[in-house]
Structure formats: C-alpha cells, structure tokens
Structure 1
Amino acid sequence: MLQQYQKIMVAVDGSNEAELAFQKAVNIARRNNASLLLVHVIDTRAFQDVNSFDSMLAEQATDLAKQSLSDYSENAKNEGVESVETTIEYGSPKIIIAKQIPEDQNVDLIILGATGLNAVERLFIGSVSEYVTRNALCDVLIVRTDAENKQPEIEEG
C-alpha cells in the first residue's frame, strides 16, 4: 500500500524558498487528500536586540503573518485543498517546527524550503531546515525546486 499523508505542515515566511515549499505542499496535500497546516513562526529572539522591547514590532510582525497566512490559505483552497488550517507561533522556529507543532497537531509530513545560509552562517546559527531534518519525528521534505522540479531562476541584482 502506498504511503498516504494525513496532515501536512508547511512553514511559510514570505521567502522565495517558502513559496516553493508551499506550492509542493499544496500538490502533495491535494494528491493525498490530506489536510494542510500553514505555519508562520515569529522568532522572538529577533526582538531581544531592541533596547526597549517595542510591542509595536511584535504587533506588526503578527499582522503581517496573519495577512500572509490568509493569502496562502485562500490560494491553497483555490488550488483544491479542502482542509486548510493556519497558525502563528512565537519562539524558536527550529523547536516549534521540528517538535512542538508536529506533536500537538499529529503532523506526518513537514515541508520546508531550503535555506539560503552559507556554510559560515550555518556554523554559527544553524539552519532551521537542518535542525528539523535531524530532530523531527515524522517525514521531512526539504524543497529546492519548483512545482515542475526545476531549479528556480536566480535573480541577479
């Protein structure tokens, strides 16, 4: 019998890599008749560098995440995914994506975009996708290609 996924989680953050992951997640969810969980994690550590914690920054980040998730959700439904849920979480993206949400929501596939970090950046901060791949209890798909399995064109700037 073929493996069928029931609940697919995709982490979206507005990046090109997340967009590729979202497109693959929609296709896989549709083929498996699975529910799709769209997740945006606001890394609260980013606000620790602000001298006086500005709640406006957190509110703006939350508002942007809500709008982004709403757009992704509508897109997924328009593409034929029947069950779409969204969630915004706060904290360490690595732990939330690898462990917390999959355990709480019975996720059986995590889909992430490949990161653009270079070797030095990975050494110091580590990539979310690398951590999730090593620590998740369910299957993980790291997306590097578009829906047609082609490398996306790199924009030169």
Structure 2
Amino acid sequence: MYKNILLASDGSKHAIRALTQAINLAKEVEEATVTIVSVVDRAKSKKAVGKDDKDEVIDTPSNALRETEDALTQQNIPYKVQLLYGDASEEIVDYIDKNQIDIGIIGSRGLNALQEMVLGSVSHKVAKYAKCPILIVK
C-alpha cells in the first residue's frame, strides 16, 4: 500500500495534524518509512535577516521539526529528514516525482476558497502537480 510516505512539515499546527495522519498510515504497513520534507526559501530567509551571502544565512529549520521526529521515534516508525531549498511547492513536487513516493501528506494553511484561488498555496499546488495521491490535512 503506502510504503514511502512523504510528510511535508514546517512545524506549524497544520503540519502537526498532518503528522498524526502520517503515523496512522505508517502503522498500517509493516515496512513503511516516512520522509519528513522541510523546505527553506533562501531568498525569504536572506531578506528576513538582511543578508545577501547565502553562507551567512542559517539553512536549517529551527526546532520546528523536533516534535515531528520525537513522535515518529516514540511510535517506532522509521523516518528520514530531507531539507530542500527553494520554492516549497516546486521542491516538494520534484522530490515526490523523483523518489517514488506513494503518498504525500501536507497540512492546509486554512485559507478560504477565494484566497486559495487568488494566492495559491503550497498544499494546493502540490496536490495539483504531484504524481501521487496527496492528503491535505486541515
């Protein structure tokens, strides 16, 4: 069934809800592995700290993923962490397509339908372009 599960996470409350679903799915398949994917947008992070040199910008998420890793460890679910750089939706879709992911799980930002159509969201774009099923968790 779903052996290769991708969990897109930024440590937000929606990502933590998505974690619960990833755990539930992983428990159903004996050899399931969860890949936690977190995307760093270097352009935004450089602008936020006022730096131009990419080496001066911290490229790793803070402790945002600690809760996710701890929960998977407590449930004895094998996982790995993949840090990606760039536009979140593009990087997640690219990773899914290149790594034989069976299902992607991503939290919703909770935007209403009009905002989602106007602004677009990472979850919406991933669901639209990925070549595997995507579970969007509210």
Same fold (TM over 0.5): yes
1:14 aligns with 2:11: yes
Check conservation: 1:94, 1:131, Cα contact below 8 A: yes
Residues 67-106 of structure 1 show CA distances to partners (whole Å, capped at 9, x for unaligned) of: 433442232021131x2111111101011112x1112321
Check conservation: 2:9, 2:36, Cα contact below 8 A: yes
Residues 94-134 of structure 1 show CA distances to partners (whole Å, capped at 9, x for unaligned) of: 11112x11123211100011113345643453101110111
- Of the two, which has the highest radius of gyration? 1
Q: Aligned Cα RMSD in Å?
A: 2.3
- Opposite residue 84 of structure 2, the aligned amino acid is E
Identify unmatched segments of 5+ residues in structure 2. none
- TM-score computed with the length of structure 1 as normaliser: 0.75
- TM-score computed with the length of structure 2 as normaliser: 0.84
Provide closer, same or farther for how the CA distance between residues 77 and 46 of structure 1 changes in structure 2, counting only shifts above 3 A.
same
Identify unmatched segments of 5+ residues in structure 1. 145-157
Deviation at 1:23, TM superposition (A): 1.1
Check conservation: 2:42, 2:54, Cα contact below 8 A: no
Provide closer, same or farther for how the CA distance between residues 92 and 20 of structure 1 changes in structure 2, counting only shifts above 3 A.
same
**Helix, strand or coil at the partner of 2:83:** strand
Deviation at 1:31, TM superposition (A): 1.1
Deviation at 1:9, TM superposition (A): 0.3
2:24 aligned to which of 15, 19, 27: 27
Give percent identity, aligned residues only.
Answer: 28
Q: Which structure exhibits the higher relative contact order, with contacts defined as CA atoms closer than 8 Å and separated by 6 or more residues? A: 2
Provide closer, same or farther for how the CA distance between residues 56 and 121 of structure 1 changes in structure 2, counting only shifts above 3 A.
farther
The size of the alignment, in residue pairs, is 136
